[in-house]
């Protein structure tokens, strides 16, 4: 452990230009043994080194289909777990900085969800009436929970298809950890807001009565993405007063009020595709993470498109920002020396059960 800490400290003193050169050299030396994955929200200094870019599920599937032995995921912890679950046994998933987590994912721990399941069992039979659905932005043990309780995983792209499948299995859904994706998706499916109740994991019975749970169609976990909560309806109103012809596009992790005022709502891939296919000269207000919005602004400025960030204050995924060129280089040069650092390995039982929930999702979507 001491040697590892010294190594990290030595790399942290390097500037980004030197890191970039040495990363390129390490990638060339490792060749097909290595694949680097870069999530859309990753900082540019790291993103430029990715062999594949995209959202977490897309990246994990591409890595699993590659010839690489080492999968270096420049994202956050749950993403590397998904890569480990979906990859072949001989492949190794690595996270450059183990401190790169997800605050939203942390809001729904296995202990909290299991307690909620037990409490639900005092007023209804969850095994017969409730399908547990976890957003892919969650820990592997929660995906495993869904696997063993007849549940499923969803992404921001396929949430509607997953909810439709879930209602065919059982009458209700327990949706975690992001309440906003669940609410925005269910409402667009025609489910009334009064049938979408919020389970407050800090309160007994989630702060809900037996009558509320009986009426509920979707029980939404009180979780959220701190980045997407920076966006507000007033920001949209102010922008449209200046640019009335502009279009507004938001990620479904944003609040219900923001999504209701948006012309388009969808995943990061959907946002990219929609702006890419838009008319030259069009103007867009975008409610999602700053690094992605800045990248879109640069990419589409040559087509005369104006891409604006919705929040007047800077808000990026601070935990993903922990992945920097220095940590990436540290991982790669350790691999060249035969040292495996920061491997992400999901326990076999959890991996099997989580794979059940993920496979259900892949079959549905």
Distance CA(145)–CA(163), nearest Å, equals: 17
Q: Which two tokens stand for residue 276?
A: 């890419």
Distance of CA 68 to the CA centre of its chain: 23
Cα 196 to Cα 83, 119, 120, 122, 146: the distances in Å are 32, 18, 16, 20, 20
CB-facing half-sphere around the CA of 311: CA atoms within 13 A: 20
Q: Which two tokens stand for residue 226?
A: 């701190």
Q: What is the dihedral of CA 12, 15, 21, 23, to 10 degrees?
A: 20
Q: Would you write out the chain's pLDDT as a tens digit for each of its 365 residues?
A: 444 544 687 798 899 999 999 999 999 999 999 999 999 889 899 999 999 998 889 999 999 999 999 999 999 999 999 999 999 999 999 999 999 988 889 999 999 999 999 999 999 999 999 999 999 999 999 999 999 999 999 999 999 999 999 999 999 999 999 999 999 999 999 999 999 999 999 999 999 999 999 999 999 999 999 889 999 999 999 999 999 999 999 999 999 999 999 999 999 999 999 999 999 999 999 999 999 999 999 999 999 999 999 998 766 676 777 899 999 999 999 999 999 999 999 999 999 999 999 999 999 98
Q: What is the 3-state secondary structure (H, E, C) of the chain?
A: CHHHHHHHHHHHCCCHHHHHHHHHHHHHHHHHHEEEEEECCCCHHHHCCCCEEECHHHHHHHHHHCCCCEEEEECCHHHHHHHHHHCCCCCEEECCCCCCCCHHHHCCCHHHHHHHHHHHCCCCCHHHHEEEEEECCCCHHHHHHHHHCCCEEECCCCHHHHHHHHHHHCCEEEEECCHHHHHHHHHHCCCCHHHEEEECCCCHHHHCCHHHHHHCCEEEECCCCCCHHHCCHHHHHHHHHHCCCCEEEECCCCCHHHHHCCCEECCHHHHHHHHHCCCCCCEEEEECCHHHHHHHHHHHHHHCCEEEECCCCCCCCCCHHHCCHHHHHHHHHHHHCCCCCCEECCCHHHHHHHHHHHHHHHHHC
Q: Of 65, 62, 46, 43, nearest to 54 (Cα)?
A: 62
Tokens 């012309």 belong to residue: 263
Query: Considering Cα of 296, then 301, then 304, then 309, what sign does the dihedral take?
Result: positive
According to DSSP, the β-strands at 343-344 and 92-94 are: antiparallel
C-alpha angle 282/288/289, rounded to 5°? Answer: 120
Q: Which two tokens stand for residue 64?
A: 């699993």
Q: Which two tokens stand for residue 340?
A: 């495996």
Q: Which two tokens stand for residue 24?
A: 């390129």
Query: Considering Cα of 14, then 17, then 20, then 25, what sign does the dihedral take?
Result: negative
The pLDDT value recorded for residue 5 is 45
């Amino acid at each position: 452990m001491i040697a590892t800490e010294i190594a990290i400290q030595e790399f942290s003193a390097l500037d980004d230009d030197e890191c970039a050169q040495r990363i390129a050299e390490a990638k060339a030396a490792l060749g097909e043994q290595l694949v680097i994955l870069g999530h859309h929200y990753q900082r540019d200094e790291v993103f430029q080194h990715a062999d594949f870019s995209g959202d977490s599920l897309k990246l994990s599937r591409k890595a699993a289909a590659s010839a690489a032995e080492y999968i270096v995921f420049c994202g956050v912890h749950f993403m590397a777990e998904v890569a480990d679950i979906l990859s072949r046994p001989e492949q190794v998933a690595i996270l450059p900085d183990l401190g790169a987590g997800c605050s939203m994912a942390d809001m729904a721990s296995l202990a909290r969800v299991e307690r909620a399941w037990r409490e639900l069992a005092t007023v209804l039979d969850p095994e017969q009436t409730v399908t547990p659905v976890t957003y892919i932005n969650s820990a592997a043990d929660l995906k495993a929970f869904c696997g063993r309780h007849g549940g499923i995983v969803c992404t921001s792209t396929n949430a509607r298809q997953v909810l439709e499948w879930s209602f065919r299995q059982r009458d209700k859904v327990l949706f975690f950890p992001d309440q906003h994706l669940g609410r925005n998706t269910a409402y667009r499916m025609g489910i009334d807001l009064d049938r979408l109740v919020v389970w407050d994991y800090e309160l007994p019975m989630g702060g809900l009565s037996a009558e509320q749970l009986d009426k509920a169609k979707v029980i939404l976990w009180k979780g959220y993405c701190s980045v997407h909560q920076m966006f507000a309806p007033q920001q949209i109103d102010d922008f449209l007063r200046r640019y009335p012809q502009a279009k507004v596009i938001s990620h479904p992790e944003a609040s219900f009020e923001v999504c209701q005022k948006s012309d388009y709502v969808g995943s990061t891939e959907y946002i990219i595709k929609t702006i890419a296919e838009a008319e030259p000269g069009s103007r867009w207000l975008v409610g999602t993470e700053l690094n992605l919005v800045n990248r879109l602004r640069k990419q589409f400025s040559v087509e005369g498109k104006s891409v604006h960030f919705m929040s007047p204050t800077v808000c990026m995924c601070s935990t993903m920002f922990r992945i920097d060129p220095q940590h990436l280089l540290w991982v790669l040069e350790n691999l060249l020396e035969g040292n495996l650092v920061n491997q992400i390995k999901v326990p076999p039982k959890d991996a099997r059960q989580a794979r059940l929930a993920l496979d259900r999702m892949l079959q549905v979507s």
